[in-house]
Amino acid sequence: MTTFAPQDVRQPEAREQADHPRAVSAWTTDFWLTLVGSLVGSLGLVWLLYEKVLPFSGSIGFLICWYLGFLAMFATVTAMAHSRQIVVDRLWMAIITGAAVLVGAALACAIGYIVFRGWAAAHLLNFWYEPESASSPGQSPLTQGGVANAIVGSAFELGVATVVSLPLGIMTAVYMVEVGGKFSRVVRTVVEAMTALPDILAGLFIYTVLILGLGFDRSGFAAAMALSVMMLPIIARSADVQLRIVPSGLREASYALGSTQWRTVWRVVLPTQRSGLATAVILGMARAVGETAPVLITSGASTYTNPNWAELASCFHLGTAGCTPFTEPMNSLPLYIYTAVRSGEPLFIERGFGAGVVLLVFVLVLFVTARLLARSKVASR
């Protein structure tokens, strides 16, 4: 008996439409009219009730009531013309979008306030290249002195901490992913626990071991060691995630060509995730650059540029010890901000907010670099 497959007797236009899925997230004219009408209508209703009828006041309470009134009106108007599924979908979309707007607004307000308060000092060139010792921060005008000593201190401490934590973090991630075993689970647990380590504990650890135990002075080097303790688990955990997503076929192909495990790691695995590993390092640097407590405990503040480059060069030329980054206090941007804001002197507080602008620029550069590296990795695929 011969059977025939059923033929599609629909028109060509209908078949073409059936082949393409419906765009469930399309924002139609009806959606925009409902959204704008609900925003305007809830604003007028809440203003009338909140300001004129009920004995309430305050901008924060008004915004909360406006948002709740918008959600109620938006769901009601949508339910007049659409099914329950669409009402729930649009309502959750409004809730999630509102949460994202709230977080973005809070971040924008914090950054805007810091820039507004610190612009008077941050836009001056002397603020970037003159040290704090060139003026009296509480009495001198903003055209004298700056935060060059804190910028140099932050750069030195972050650089030394990166040199220490980068190889240790990458090697730890390689051990957890490539070597494995029972002990690797313990290492992974310790690394994950250390990512939530309070920064003051890192400073106390270095203060106890390096300063009290081994006799080192409170210096920029000790502060860098404390920052490296904080950077190490961030780099190791991020690098662990990056190495895990390397396709196993690349390793198998390398083994099939007669390569050893460590040569495979060095020549195949690490180069494949080069940009991801760089992102992990930059994220660790961005975490450490804004820490205050470890620097306060292990280094302390200073008003002069440290290291003194002329003295440092003479130390290397004469072959003597006692270079200032290893023996004397070194200021940093977070510690400078902490000291300035606590001073109670208006000019010094303005300088502190200006240093906050400098720190924001520094962190922004780090995160933009991380995003560009991650984007280049995705584009290369």
Is the separation of the CB atoms in 329 and 301 below 8 Å? yes
CATH 1.10.3720.10 spans which residues of the chain?
A: 126-380
**Residue 185, burial from CB neighbour count under 10 angstroms (0-12, 13-18, 19+):** exposed
Is the separation of the CB atoms in 333 and 359 below 8 Å? yes
Is the separation of the CB atoms in 149 and 306 below 8 Å? yes
Is the separation of the CB atoms in 155 and 307 below 8 Å? no
> What pLDDT shows up at residue 73?
92
> What pLDDT shows up at residue 319?
43
Sign of CA dihedral 338, 341, 342, 346: positive
**Per-position DSSP letters for 245-270, written without gaps between them:** TS-HHHHHHHHHTT--HHHHIIIIIH
**Which CATH superfamily hosts domain 126-380?**
MetI-like (1.10.3720.10)
Of 186-200, 231-245, 311-325, 339-353, give the lowest mean pLDDT range: 311-325
The rounded distance, in Å, linking the Cα atoms of 158 and 165 is 10
Tokens of 127: 């603020």
Q: Has residue 18 got a pLDDT over 60?
A: no
> What pLDDT shows up at residue 165?
92
> What pLDDT shows up at residue 22?
54
How much is the pTM?
0.74
Give, for 87, the enclosing helix (H) or strand (E). helix 84-122
Q: What is the pLDDT of residues 322-359, one digit of tens each?
A: 446 677 788 888 888 988 888 888 888 888 899 999 99
3-state secondary structure 180-244: CCHHHHHHHHHHHHHCCCCHHHHHHHHHHHHHHHCCCCCCHHHHHHHHHHHHHHHHHHHHHHHHH
Segment 110-127 mean pLDDT: 89
- Diameter over CA atoms, the chain: 104
> What pLDDT shows up at residue 317?
46
The rounded distance, in Å, linking the Cα atoms of 302 and 336 is 9
The radius of gyration of the chain from alpha carbons, rounded to an integer in Å, stands at 29
The pLDDT mean for the chain works out to 82
Nearest C-alpha neighbor of 228 from the set 280, 151, 168, 171:
168
Nearest C-alpha neighbor of 221 from the set 131, 161, 302, 305:
161
Q: What is the pLDDT of residues 152-187, one digit of tens each?
A: 888 888 889 999 999 999 999 999 988 877 888 888
Q: Has residue 39 got a pLDDT over 50?
A: yes
Q: What is the pLDDT of residues 89-107, one digit of tens each?
A: 889 999 999 899 999 999 8
> What pLDDT shows up at residue 322?
42
> What pLDDT shows up at residue 168?
92
Is the separation of the CB atoms in 259 and 331 below 8 Å? no
The rounded distance, in Å, linking the Cα atoms of 350 and 118 is 6
> What pLDDT shows up at residue 323?
47
Q: What is the pLDDT of residues 252-309, one digit of tens each?
A: 888 888 888 888 888 888 888 888 888 888 888 888 888 888 888 888 777 777 665 4
Q: What is the pLDDT of residues 41-77, one digit of tens each?
A: 999 988 888 888 887 778 888 888 899 999 999 999 9
**What is the number of helices (H) and of strands (E) in the chain?**
18, 0
> What pLDDT shows up at residue 316?
45
Choose between 180 and 188: higher pLDDT: 188
